[in-house]
Amino acid sequence: MPNIATHGLLAQDVLDNAPFTRLARLIERYPKAYFLGSNGPDILFYYHSLPWQSKAGADRFNVMGNLVHSQKIDEFYRKAIEIIQATPQGETRQLMTVYLAGHLTHWSLDTVAHPYIFYKTGAIQGATKYWHFRLESMIDTLMVKQTKGYLLSKFDMPSLVKVDETTKEAIAKLYRPILSEVFDQDASEEELKECVTSIHTLATYLYDPYTIKFPLVQLGESLLGMKWKFSGHIVAGKMDLKRDVLNLNHATWKHPCDGTKVSDESFIDLYHSAIRRATGVLCALNDVLFKDNIV
């Protein structure tokens, strides 16, 4: 999965060229919910993720995050739409709708980009465990420059996942019944709100536009024998120009689940494919939710 910045960039690019007029107007009213939604189920991985927090329950939420990423995708979105349609008209329903729109942009980019990411980094285990996160973080740094033309220091990444309490409550009310009824997983609304709080807190710590934190954290990791455990997640301003991270030279790569599927697409190519996919999906969501002129 690409990281916070890349998902946010894609969500903005989809909105900038939106043919889904009514949904777009609603997103413009609640942009924070939309950008948080662009992180999809990743928020579940952030429960009690800060080093000083108790790890009680963290494994349970990691399981939920993996389930939502990999199973019952159609059921997830059907249930989300069902919940929205059953929610009385008003701000909570509107926030749920906008959040779901962002969530669908996350799905769009993950489905297109995951094969490339996993081909480059292997499984998230063993000696290559942190390669996945390191690649995602560098993709964030490079994509800000590639798509917007400016350095990471000009891009406020943590703001993409900062929302108010009303938005947190709406998201928790949307997620809780989905987790319970679709995945048979129990999570309280307070726990889900904690996930949203933690993703912003951790994003603030991991945002390193001037590459000051990264070398210091790496030094600490070396002393503790924990190489890449934390630094692998840091989004640093210094760009890796030695490696062709975005495959701009169009080297051949294979789908990690099917070696017969060969591609030379760059990450930029994949990104634009994801924009087209997300635009189509949000047009469909617009048609479903506004067919009776209500949300």
In a domain, 137, yes or no: no
In a domain, 231, yes or no: no
- b or e along 78-115 (b: 16 or more beta carbons within 10 Å of the residue's beta carbon)? ebbbebbeebeeeebbbbbbbbbbbbbbbbbbbebbbb
Q: Which residues, given as ranges, of the chain have pLDDT below 70?
A: 1-2, 126-128, 292-295
Domain of 9 in residue numbering reads as: 4-128+157-209+270-290
In a domain, 133, yes or no: no
In a domain, 259, yes or no: no
pLDDT at 231: 85
pLDDT at 95: 99
The CA-atom distances, in angstroms, between 180 and each of 71, 132, 175, 294 are 14, 30, 9, 27
> Which residue from 210, 256, 262 is spatially nearest to 235, judged by alpha carbons?
210
Residues 159-195: tens digit of each pLDDT: 999 999 999 999 999 999 999 999 999 999 999 999 9
What's the total number of domains in the chain?
1
Residues 232-271: tens digit of each pLDDT: 889 999 999 999 999 999 999 999 888 889 999 999 999 9
pTM for this predicted structure: 0.94
Neighbours of 125 (CB within 10 A): 8
